[in-house]
Structure 1
């Protein structure tokens, strides 16, 4: 069975994948998503130049934690020889846990494209093909690539570009429905997924504007995508993968997650970060706000979250939030049963919470 056939078979059973996200998909994030239903998780994008110069910080992005059963490693750069070297080194150090190598040809960040890397490779198709060939020449796992519609607004080169990558040995291609110049503005154009699928025989993974389980299921059913990348849709919602799977493959409705369940998940995520990537604890200031979305007094709690500096401070704040949520829910139940009650001072929440609601 070829690598592309192997991937297609895997995607038929588990089509919803956790996408690579720079500054987000560290070991704690990957494990959080895997525990709650993601069948595969990707590393943050990893510089082949960093691996070439043996940067230990770069290797921290690559190496899976003990709990991770597998990992997909995404590489970026612009030199074919460094890709070949990186693939060899990653295979050696990651070993049997390496599921696949993905090549980033989609990142629109200025600091990346000014070096001719990421989405800038879409303007250099011959070099992009050489990079895939170099990676494939050393790989014993599937080599895939992530691309965009094109580089400049109005470009629509993805179908021909994907065909070129397939000829160079790519086992699958993911396509994001925006140009690089669009960054993440406007709506993603899912029709490009079908256009790419018509030009290649390898699996196509759709990407862009998948914010809910319903979005993921719709992309799978309405396009020719074999799989779906879920990126920002996983923010504060690690259940999105299992929910999308149940909806798309079993027709089960998407359950509503209670405040208590979301706070338990936040505690779990905080503990993983503290244990596995303590230097990245500041990232919790961002992801904690995702779990709090829609909760009573969420705006005020977000203001408190961004001032937390340690694991202990985060945990103490979650204790406060949990108590406040319980009080709010009790008040709503009482109001539903007996009508509005006289206003009481909620001293435990502080003046900020009394003044500002979600």
Structure 2
């Protein structure tokens, strides 16, 4: 596997990318995943219209901070001029790459003629790409699906239009919008997109293991791959998968002490960024995934009970102590340290 991926004038130090995910890839998660070795972690999906209006929670989704080797801001919207304005704001905020969302299947997004609904209106999608490319100097990329449904696979044609307009790369999720996340991602169908354009093509969907990553790259011929739901509770996955692909080995998972340190770092980063009590509330879904993904305790029923118990705790210190007790004998440097003296890298996220 090659050492990296070139997107416009940006060199990415790897070919395993992390997808933009609403409610997941906030700044604390991106800082942590980057610190663990991820070469590319996109922001949450950012609504251009709300970003232009300065809505606080939307601006926060596009937040940039220290500890990030690369800033990728993903925009969603259906109006070319509003998307162009959002792109200009993203560039001013420090975006290295601006990604356009033509793939989100959520009803609240497609119902507003955005996300994967734009694959049903290729002329509008083309107008959006043209407006954004003209508005900024940074590389513009597009994330899409195979098409709206099985009868309208038009990703290759949309990718051709993108390349002709100056879009620097496309990512294709191997499902249609109608499939949402059911069935199995069709990596082979992405090969048609790769054959249609000379710009980098990134394959996405159902990639969790090194074996799946190798197969997805082989079947699609893609230049890189993008991880989505597989990173839930595993912010180290991109870096570890990159290593496994490079040396031909199986994926290595963190041990008890390393995993405990990662989770606590994430908790503290969330508290530093959002404050209390919001920081703990935002972290709870991640905590649940961390517990589900860990092999300790051995009994799944025990893990499920522990998840329910820990996700009801009301202070960060209680979470640290309970998690330390769950996974291993108490670790002094974590269990009694509270949330003061936050790591410098998450302090930069304020």
Give the match for residue 76 of structure 1.
76
Stretches of structure 2 that go unaligned for 5 or more consecutive residues are 332-350
Q: Please give the secondary structure, in 1, of the residue aligned with 2:119.
A: helix
1:137 to 128, 134, 137: 134
Further displaced range: 252-261 or 219-228: 252-261
Matching of residue 283 in structure 1 with residue 282 in structure 2 = yes
TM-score after normalising by structure 1: 0.83
Give 1:9 shift.
8.1
Which structure's CA Rg is the greater one? 1
Further displaced range: 34-43 or 314-323: 314-323
Give the match for residue 334 of structure 2.
none
Retained in 2: the 8 A contact 1:128–1:165?
no
Give the match for residue 313 of structure 1.
318
Cα distance change, pair 225–277 in 1 and its aligned pair in 2 (3 A)? farther
Further displaced range: 178-187 or 56-65: 56-65
**1:210 & 1:39 partners in 2: Cα distance?**
17
Give the match for residue 351 of structure 1.
none
2:202 to 188, 201, 205: 205
**1:93 & 1:8 partners in 2: Cα distance?**
18
**1:66 & 1:257 partners in 2: Cα distance?**
25
TM-score after normalising by structure 2: 0.85
Runs of 4+ in 1 over 6 A off after TM superposition: none
Give 1:139 shift.
1.2
Question: How many equivalent residue pairs?
Answer: 319
**1:6 & 1:57 partners in 2: Cα distance?**
29
Q: Please give the secondary structure, in 1, of the residue aligned with 2:175.
A: coil
Give the match for residue 47 of structure 1.
47
Retained in 2: the 8 A contact 1:150–1:158?
yes
Give 1:324 shift.
6.6
Q: Please give the secondary structure, in 2, of the residue aligned with 1:316.
A: helix
Stretches of structure 1 that go unaligned for 5 or more consecutive residues are 327-358
The structure carrying a bigger helix percent of its residues is 1
Deviation digits for residues 18-47 of structure 1 (CA, Å, limit 9, x no counterpart): 110011000111011111111011000000
Q: Please give the secondary structure, in 1, of the residue aligned with 2:43.
A: coil
Q: Please give the secondary structure, in 2, of the residue aligned with 1:170.
A: coil
Give the match for residue 225 of structure 2.
228
**1:130 & 1:148 partners in 2: Cα distance?**
18
Matching of residue 269 in structure 1 with residue 249 in structure 2 = no
Give 1:323 shift.
4.3
Deviation digits for residues 42-95 of structure 1 (CA, Å, limit 9, x no counterpart): 00000011022122222111121222233100000000001111111221232x
1:1-358 correspondence to structure 2 within 5 Å: 6-7=7-8, 10=11, 13-94=13-94, 98-278=95-275, 279-292=278-291, 293=293, 294-296=295-297, 297-323=302-328
**2:168 & 2:41 partners in 1: Cα distance?**
17
Q: CA RMSD in A?
A: 2.1
**1:8 & 1:90 partners in 2: Cα distance?**
17
Further displaced range: 238-247 or 24-33: 238-247
